[in-house]
């Protein structure tokens, strides 16, 4: 999948940057035949490998995982291309990331046998580090921030606390620059990092509260 028109604003540009990072990970996973996430708008599954999913699960994550569980390979075909426009509004991207996290957690924990490292050593590690840890970055950052605050009498933790404050100030300024229609490139990473991980954290809370996301209105073209 290629994002097009990513120069519209900070939100769109940030998605383009994030996607380039994600594509590199997928290329490495594909090289070992174990791609654990596919592009929702464009993927194919052999009929005999396809396993129907519940409507509350995210298909472009769970379908390849269930194929891999069968001992088959999932690979990236670089010459199969689909163009997609990124979301251009903070609220739209927030809701998208929140929903993806919720549906991903529902899928993973409905098939939690895949997280068993004794049964699926390589696959379990991939799921844990590529997906689960990424979803829980927000809570880990919050815990780490307050840990640094509690230990701030020590220089090491005080320095990290200052870095946290500066980073989230930059994220806040990025949000404000987005609101007024200015693209401040230096704020792109802290802005999008904070947006995505706040959304994922809310998705985790939705999962804990047993919320469902079965249908929604697409915001990308």
**pLDDT tens-digit map of 55-85:** 899 999 999 999 999 999 999 998 999 888 8
Q: Do 123 and 64 contact (CB within 8 A), yes or no?
A: no
Do 66 and 72 form a contact (C-beta atoms < 8 A)?
no
What is the rounded distance in angstroms from the CA atom of residue 57 to the CA atom of residue 128?
A: 17
pLDDT at 221 over 70: no
216, pLDDT greater than 80 = no
CA-wise closest residue to 131 among 214, 53, 29, 4: 29
Longest dimension (CA), the chain: 61
pLDDT digits (tens, 9 = 90+) for 140-150: 999 999 999 99
Given this model, what pLDDT does residue 181 score?
77
Q: Collect all residues with Cβ–Cβ distance below 8 Å to 174 and sequence separation of at least 6.
A: 10, 184, 187, 188, 190, 191, 192, 194
Per-residue pLDDT for 218 more than 80?
Answer: no
Mean pLDDT within 37-51? 92
Could you tell me the two tokens for 104?
Answer: 């991903």
Whole-angstrom Cα distance, residue 173 to residue 191? 8
Q: In the beta sheet, which residues pair with residue 2?
A: 83
111-120 long-range CB contacts below 8 Å, 24 or more apart? 111/62, 111/65, 111/66, 114/65, 114/69, 120/69
């Amino acid at each position: 999948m290629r994002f097009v028109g990513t120069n519209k604003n900070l939100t769109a540009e940030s998605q383009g940057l994030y996607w380039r990072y994600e594509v590199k990970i997928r290329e490495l996973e594909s090289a070992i035949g174990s791609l654990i996430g596919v592009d929702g708008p464009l993927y194919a599954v052999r009929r005999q490998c396809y396993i129907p999913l519940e409507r509350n699960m995210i298909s472009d994550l769970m379908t390849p995982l269930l194929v891999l569980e069968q001992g088959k390979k999932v690979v990236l075909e670089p010459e199969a291309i689909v163009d997609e426009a990124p979301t251009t509004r903070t609220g739209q991207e927030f809701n998208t990331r929140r929903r993806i996290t919720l549906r991903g957690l529902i899928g993973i924990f409905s098939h939690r046998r895949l997280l068993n490292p004794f049964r699926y050593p390589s696959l379990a590690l991939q799921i844990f580090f590529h997906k689960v840890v990424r979803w829980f970055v927000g809570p880990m950052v919050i815990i780490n921030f307050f840990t640094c605050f509690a230990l701030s009498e020590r220089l090491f933790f005080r320095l990290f606390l200052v870095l946290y404050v500066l980073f989230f100030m930059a994220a806040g300024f990025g949000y404000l620059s987005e609101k007024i229609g200015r693209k401040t490139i230096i704020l792109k990473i802290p802005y999008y990092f904070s947006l995505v991980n706040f959304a994922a954290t809310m998705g985790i809370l939705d999962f804990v509260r047993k919320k469902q996301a079965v249908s929604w209105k697409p915001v990308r073209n």
